[in-house]
Amino acid sequence: MSRGFLVADHVADVRVKAWGSGFEDVFSEMSKAMWFLMFGEAQIPALHKWHIEVTGMDMEDLLVAFLNEQLVLFDTDGLVMAGIEQIRVEPGQDGEEVRLDSVLCGAHVSHVQARVNLQIKAATFHGLHLTPAEAWVTFDV
Amino acid sequence: MATNLKMVQGRECQWIMPKSGGMKVDGAIFATEEILKDLEGTKAIDQVRNVAHLPGILQASLAMPDIHEGYGFPIGGVAATDMSSGVVSPGGIGYDINCGVRIMVSNLTRDDVMKRQEELVNKLFANIPTGVGKTGSIRLSRKQLAQVLTEGAGWAVRNGYGWDSDLEHCEENGCMDGADPGHVSDRALKRGSDGLGTLGSGNHFIEVSYVEEIFDEEAARTFGLFKDQAVFWVHSGSRGLGHQVCSDYLRVMRRAISKYGISLPDRQLDCAPIASDEGKQYFAAMASAANYAWANRQILAHYVRESVSQTFGKTPESLGMYMLYDVAHNIGKIEEHVVDGNSRKVLVHRKGATRAFGPGHQHVPGKYRQVGQPVLIPGDMGRASYILRGTETAMKLSFGSACHGAGRALSRTQARKAITAGELREELASRGVFVRSATMKGLVEEAPDAYKDVSTVVEATHRAGLAAKVARVRPLGVIKG
């Protein structure tokens, strides 16, 4: 099955559709879309790796947490994602929270030969739609 | 009119959406027929209806004339909730907590500014950090940051960024009670450590304008305004710290609605009882972020004074650069209002709305108390902005609230297709406006035609009686993030 994303036009904000085969693909494609919004087609060198682990009360919560954690790391540590090397989503059992483990690669923003196109304040729950095959997320910009 | 929206007209420019289904109160939209027609088919109307489902909401789910689609709440949404049975909803306050605007007056005129227009704008652009990821020169330890979150604009003044008199002319005197940095996450604190004194991007701006027309001579005199006078705007918010507080607590509230058995039609409205631990902690964190924003605008205003002073070779004092007022656009406030004939404390959520307290209100600075609180409504960088005053009607109809701006008409993609940066610069120059921006893309996305005409919104606000027009100003110079 194919995977990818598209950015939909929206008057005040940005809505993105991402698709793939399973939650891992969908989460990865949505992450790529978010970085595309911020840095466009710029080539991001894979100079560093970092680990992101988040939990959520459900898959939607997990997706929003994963995206927002990437924004936090950009804001605080200047980390810009080039790609996702590993990603694993573990459904919670018996009321446990769902969990995501990932390894991202990329570079510090000072090594990126491009300016930020768009400031994303946050991934939101507004109009959020998520299945194992696709997701729609609205970003507050 | 508006039968397909299932609304009935109340007063002039007031449309009532009667309570139905799970709505706990009516919806009420303040708008002209023209504005209302533009809303057909948008989600903003549904959002007014959804907000009416909040537990403990009082009187009505309200929308100001600049209503448009937001997250959970519409932009322009106002909801007051009961302090004992009501909830607090981060979606009713927004990601950019206490995004707001202030104006400083001056004794400079339009002619004075035009003689040094480019020099002044270049000086502002050089002195004020703008754009995404731009950090300020102020580095704060955790202890200092906690002081900022507790003291707000007062911290900035105490540290040399401004005058004591500035605080008297800030909503809440630039510092909200109830702030507790202990309820702000480490992530949010980290995001706030180097953002103080930065403008940000998007619709944030610094602008020098001139007073083009005065509608209310008495109020204008009271506000210190005169025709052709140069005034200075600062529009910014709580930067990454505020965004993180909102993100953090939306997740907390998601868990809280299950815990407290709250059922809502939109996840972005998630909330908790005001009196619950979650509600109290969010309010303390939100107030902290609001104080950060007030400190930020205070420091930006100081940089504006320095820039104007350097350009004209005079002190800010001799240039008469006094604060007119500072208002919040995204905030939750505990205020006293009359509900069903009784005065009581309520929590007013304003999401893209301005407090507009009327004459005589104890929280309006003494200097303005006879005419009402200044209500500052920015438009776009090419046309106009407005200064209004709060009214008694607003106290009765909208928990002392009015509109906050124009609202976007075009998406960012549409705006980029509509005009090039070169064309925009030429167009603005033909209107006498000189502009500097961190990026050309950002500039084009904020082009005047990307926004609705603020005059339409202000006219509806005036006719609805929520605020009364005092003066219209036109831009001369703008810096954008």
**What does the H/E/C string look like for chain B?**
CCHHHCCEECCCCEEEECCCCCCCCEEEEECCHHHHHHHCCCHHHHHHHHHCCCCCEEEEEEEEEEEECCCCCCEEEEEEEECCCCEECHHHCCCCCCCEEEEECCCCEHHHHHHCHHHHHHHHHHHCCCCCCCCCCCCCCHHHHHHHHHHCHHHHHHCCCCCHHHHHCEHHHHCCCCCCHHHCCHHHHHHHCCCCCCCCCCCCEEEEEEEEEECCHHHHHHHCCCCCEEEEEEEECCHHHHHHHHHHHHHHHHHHHHHCCCCCCCHHHCCEECCCHHHHHHHHHHHHHHHHHHHHHHHHHHHHHHHHHHHHCCCCCCCCCCEEEEEECEEEEEEEEEECCEEEEEEEEEECCEECCCCCCCCCCHHHCCCCCEEEECCCCCCCEEEEEECHHHHHHCCCEECCCCCECCCHHHHHHHCCHHHHHHHHHHCCCEEEECCHHHHHHCCHHHECCHHHHHHHHHHHCCEEEEEEEEEEEEEEC
CB contact (8 A) between residue A11 and residue B408: yes
Q: How far apart are the CA of B216 and the nearest CA of chain A, in angstroms?
A: 33
Task: Tell whether the model's pLDDT for residue A113 goes beyond 60.
Answer: yes
Number of separate domains in chain A: 1
Residue A84 is part of which domain span? Answer: 4-140
CB contact (8 A) between residue B268 and residue A125: yes
In which residue are the tokens 């309570």 written?
A: B19
Q: What is the model's pLDDT at position A1?
A: 61
How many residues belong to chain B?
Answer: 481
Q: Which residues of chain A neighbour B190 with C-beta distances below 8 Å?
A: 72, 76
Q: Is B204 on the interface with A (CB under 8 A)?
A: no
The one catalytic residue among B183, B204, B404, B462? B404
CB contact (8 A) between residue A72 and residue B131: no
CB contact (8 A) between residue A68 and residue B247: yes
Q: Which of A109, A117, A140 sits opposite B441 (nearest CB)?
A: A117
Q: Is B455 on the interface with A (CB under 8 A)?
A: no
Q: Which residues of chain B neighbour A68 with C-beta distances below 8 Å?
A: 247
Q: Is B72 on the interface with A (CB under 8 A)?
A: yes
**Closest residue, chain A, to B72 (C-alpha):** A126
Query: Can you give the CATH number for the domain in which A34 is found?
Result: 3.55.10.10
Ranges of chain B with pLDDT below 50: 1-3
HSE-CB of B82 using CA atoms within 13 angstroms: 15
Distance CA A131, CA A135 (A): 6
**Closest to A44 measured CA to CA, from A108, A136, A89:** A108
Q: What is the model's pLDDT at position B194?
A: 87
**Closest residue, chain A, to B185 (C-alpha):** A72
Q: Which residues of chain B neighbour A57 with C-beta distances below 8 Å?
A: 254-255
Q: Is B251 on the interface with A (CB under 8 A)?
A: yes
Grouping H, G, I as helix, E, B as strand and the rest as coil, residue A121 is coil
B404 is catalytic: yes
Q: Is B214 on the interface with A (CB under 8 A)?
A: no
Q: How far apart are the CA of B265 and the nearest CA of chain A, in angstroms?
A: 11
CB contact (8 A) between residue B191 and residue A72: yes
pLDDT band at A116 (very low <50, low <70, confident <90, very high): confident
CATH superfamily of B3-83+96-480: tRNA-splicing ligase RtcB (3.90.1860.10)
CB contact (8 A) between residue A72 and residue B409: no
CB contact (8 A) between residue B409 and residue A138: no
Distance CA A100, CA A118 (A): 26
Q: Residue B157 forms beta bridges with which residues?
A: none
Grouping H, G, I as helix, E, B as strand and the rest as coil, residue A70 is helix
Average pLDDT (A55-82) is: 95
Express as a percent the part of chain A with pLDDT over 70.
99
The separation between CA A49 and the C-alpha centre of its own chain, rounded to angstroms, equals 16
